[in-house]
Structure 1
Amino acid sequence: MKISIVGLGWLGRPLADRLKAKGLKVKGTTTTIQKSEMLTNEGYDNVVLKFSPFPEGEGYQRIFDTDVLIINIPPRTKTAQPTFHPEQIKFLKEMILQHKVPKVIYVSATSVYPDENQTAKESDNLTKENTGNLALFNAEKLLWADKQYDLSIVRFGGLLGVDRIPGKYFSGKENVEGTSPVNYIHRDDAVKLISWIIEKELWNDTYNGVTPLHPSRKEVYEKNASQMGFEPPKSYDSSGAKPWKKISGAKILETGFEFEIPDPLEFWYA
């Protein structure tokens, strides 16, 4: 089986490692010549392909000679308009259809769900009026519309672990939100989940990728600080006014998937 990963970054590279270890033929993309040379030296078959939002690069057509295409290009929500990422996906979909790619996995995020003091699940009725992330919502809709390929969407919670330590982002800060539940997944389990979808052929569906356990933000931040030796938040917001959401990960568990690290309090970090 041939696998192509659009985005050999923080998640894409370990995903490529896992799929190659299973005997699959893996190739992927990166956004600059410098990164491409580095990846080549490390043994990754890759091409340069950047969506600005139109595709830029050379020789990237061979990426679409594949059995499964994994789209792993997070939207730049802080630096781009909500229309930018859907435009990227529009161009990508045109090439998917042109090359008759049979199966597609799109890496989305649980930010598509609104913060409404609720437990969110895949069957929730999301609209452009209530979504928490319009760019991702529209990108998902684009991929589903008039598709001629099998599609699965994975909505990951906070992708953490290794060098991404949630408590470090709030070290020494004041009035930090601490009561709401976290919706995290360790990178190791995110890699395993995408591989699981391919292995079990879980197509034409949407799955949340979050741990089954949801400790509070304060519990995670304090554990991180104690574990890694940095300062915890100076104070926490006690108003309880900020809306929150808990993401249900029950659907992927029903397929037989098992988390290696089901508790965010037990995540490992470099």
Structure 2
Amino acid sequence: MSTELRTESNLEPNVVIMGLGWLGEPLAKTLHARGYRVAGTTTSQEKAERLRLEGIKARVWDINAPLPSAWPADLVANTLVLCVPPGKVDDYADTLGRVASLAARVGVQRLLFTSATSVYGGLGCKTEADAAPDSPRGERMLAAEQAVRHSGMAQVLCLRLSGLVGGSREPGRFLAGRRFDGGEEPVNLVAQEDLLRFIPAILARHDWPDVLNVSAPHHPSRREFYTRAALLRDLPAPLFDGGGEGKRIDGSALSRWLGLDYRVTDWFAWLAARKAQG
């Protein structure tokens, strides 16, 4: 176990990640490499077997199936990380609330919920205090935050993630060749590589706030970013109609609290470096 883990947290490094997907799997591998004992869930038997060979206990669990009457013994940990996107769960808020309650009953102490910045509606700059959704997705996400907060878990941090890029998520493909409104709206994004730096640093601390935004400090327009992203991948550029003020997510509180800067501070440089890597 690293000196960093021993000195920065009085909690044993023991984490279970529900949802070993785009974020959960590389997070599990990152934590395992840092000395955490990591377990998690996936819907794929093949992935579960592969991860077990890599030292990560993985259980096959379909969250849409009827929940067990008790939390599985092999998933008991100090900290539960919920990495389950709403598109994959029926009755999202209720299901996540019941999952968190099951975990709390067996002594899981902390819950890190990967929420989303869709909880912010309207225009202008948005900080953690400004949650007021204006879309069904945002309302569903805010309801899920409230459900896990009322689950009986001793400590809950809702990490509101901006748009996710990096890894297998290639932004050049997102909008290529399609037509959209709001070309001048700012993009709010976070790279997988920054999440894999921030989340371990969060887990190593015990003075969690209730909520934090995660959004890189560079907010070019949708037109600029997605056009550049598509052309760098030799894909047709998207077409945009109109302008639009949009909203800009302020992710600076996280950086100040952790004393850790975002690595991605220029999305155009990030796109070029990603292209150079192949």
Q: Which bracket does the TM-score occupy, shorter chain normalised?
A: 0.7 to 0.9
Unaligned runs of 5+ in 1: none
Partner of 2:220: 215
Note closer, same or farther for the CA distance 1:102–1:80 as it changes in structure 2 (3 Å cut). closer
Note closer, same or farther for the CA distance 1:45–1:135 as it changes in structure 2 (3 Å cut). same
Note closer, same or farther for the CA distance 1:80–1:91 as it changes in structure 2 (3 Å cut). closer
User: Residue 106 of structure 1: CA displacement?
Assistant: 0.5
What does 1:167-182 correspond to in 2, within 5 Å? 167-175=172-180, 177-182=182-187
Aligned with 1:92 (options 89, 93, 99) = 99
Note closer, same or farther for the CA distance 1:226–1:176 as it changes in structure 2 (3 Å cut). same
User: Residue 177 of structure 1: CA displacement?
Assistant: 3.4
Deviates more, 1:138-147 or 1:53-62: 53-62
What does 1:1-270 correspond to in 2, within 5 Å? 1-52=13-64, 54-55=66-67, 60-63=72-75, 65-76=76-87, 84-114=91-121, 116-126=122-132, 133-145=138-150, 147-175=152-180, 177-233=182-238, 235-238=239-242, 240=243, 244-255=246-257, 256-267=259-270, 268=274
Aligned partner of residue 200 in structure 1, secondary structure: coil
Deviates more, 1:140-149 or 1:252-261: 140-149
8 Å CA contact 2:63, 2:89 repeated in 1: no
User: Residue 170 of structure 1: CA displacement?
Assistant: 1.6
Note closer, same or farther for the CA distance 1:175–1:108 as it changes in structure 2 (3 Å cut). closer
1:88-115 CA distance string (max 9 Å, x none): 112212212211211110110001111x
User: Residue 227 of structure 1: CA displacement?
Assistant: 2.2
Structure with the larger helix share: 2
Task: Name the amino acid aligned to 1:168.
Answer: R
Rounded Cα–Cα distance in structure 2 between residues aligned with 1:254 and 1:145? 28
User: Residue 125 of structure 1: CA displacement?
Assistant: 4.9
Rounded Cα–Cα distance in structure 1 between residues aligned with 2:191 and 2:89? 27
User: Residue 222 of structure 1: CA displacement?
Assistant: 2.2
Note closer, same or farther for the CA distance 1:88–1:266 as it changes in structure 2 (3 Å cut). farther
8 Å CA contact 1:208, 1:247 repeated in 2: yes
TM-score by length of 2: 0.84
Aligned partner of residue 55 in structure 1, secondary structure: coil
Q: State how many pairs are aligned.
A: 260
TM-score by length of 1: 0.86
Note closer, same or farther for the CA distance 1:58–1:132 as it changes in structure 2 (3 Å cut). closer
Unaligned runs of 5+ in 2: 1-12
Rounded Cα–Cα distance in structure 1 between residues aligned with 2:153 and 2:167? 37
Note closer, same or farther for the CA distance 1:141–1:175 as it changes in structure 2 (3 Å cut). closer
Note closer, same or farther for the CA distance 1:55–1:32 as it changes in structure 2 (3 Å cut). farther
1:202-248 CA distance string (max 9 Å, x none): 41420001101111111111221232222212x3212x3x5621101
8 Å CA contact 2:120, 2:138 repeated in 1: yes
Q: Percent identity?
A: 28
Rounded Cα–Cα distance in structure 1 between residues aligned with 2:150 and 2:77? 21
Note closer, same or farther for the CA distance 1:58–1:13 as it changes in structure 2 (3 Å cut). farther
CA RMSD after TM alignment:
2.5
8 Å CA contact 1:178, 1:216 repeated in 2: yes
8 Å CA contact 1:6, 1:70 repeated in 2: yes
